[in-house]
Amino acid sequence: MDFFWMLGQVPVATAFGVATLGIQSALFRLLPSTVAEGTANGAVTAWVAMNLLWMLGDEYERPALIHSAAAVFGVSLILLALAVWKGGLAGPALQRFRRFRIGKRT
């Protein structure tokens, strides 16, 4: 999405953003998950929504969309914090960062 936005292809970027939101939302609803996994997936979904709102607000000069994007960003941070709190440091929110060994020397 961002790639096409930077190229000035906002309709294509919007299509990719809407498709990503649709797929992510479907996965979020259809896959069984724990609270930690659900909040981590919710944070990702909120991040994509924030990105889409920001892009559209910037392109079409709609400050309300950018303010909405900032609010959705706050929601994604809250969801991410909940995912870390419920899942711990080895939970789904931080599993992508396995290279960072917290508390261990390598």
> What's the average model confidence in pLDDT over 48-76?
93
For residue 97, the model assigns a pLDDT of: 53
Q: Provide the pLDDT for residue 63.
A: 93
Q: What is the tens place of the pLDDT at every residue in 66-78?
A: 999 999 999 999 9
Mean pLDDT of the chain: 83
CA-angle at 81, arms to 5 and 68, nearest 5°: 40
SS3 labels along the chain: CHHHHHCCCHHHHHHHHHHHHHHHHHHHHHCCCCHHHHHHHHHHHHHHHHHHHHHHHHHCCCHHHHHHHHHHHHHHHHHHHHHHHHHCCCCCCCHHHCCCCCCCCC
Q: Say yes or no to pLDDT of 46 above 80.
A: yes
Check residue 69 and give its pLDDT: 95
Mean pLDDT of 59-65: 91
pLDDT of 104 strictly over 80 = no
Per domain, the residue ranges of the chain are 2-97
| pTM (predicted TM-score) | 0.78
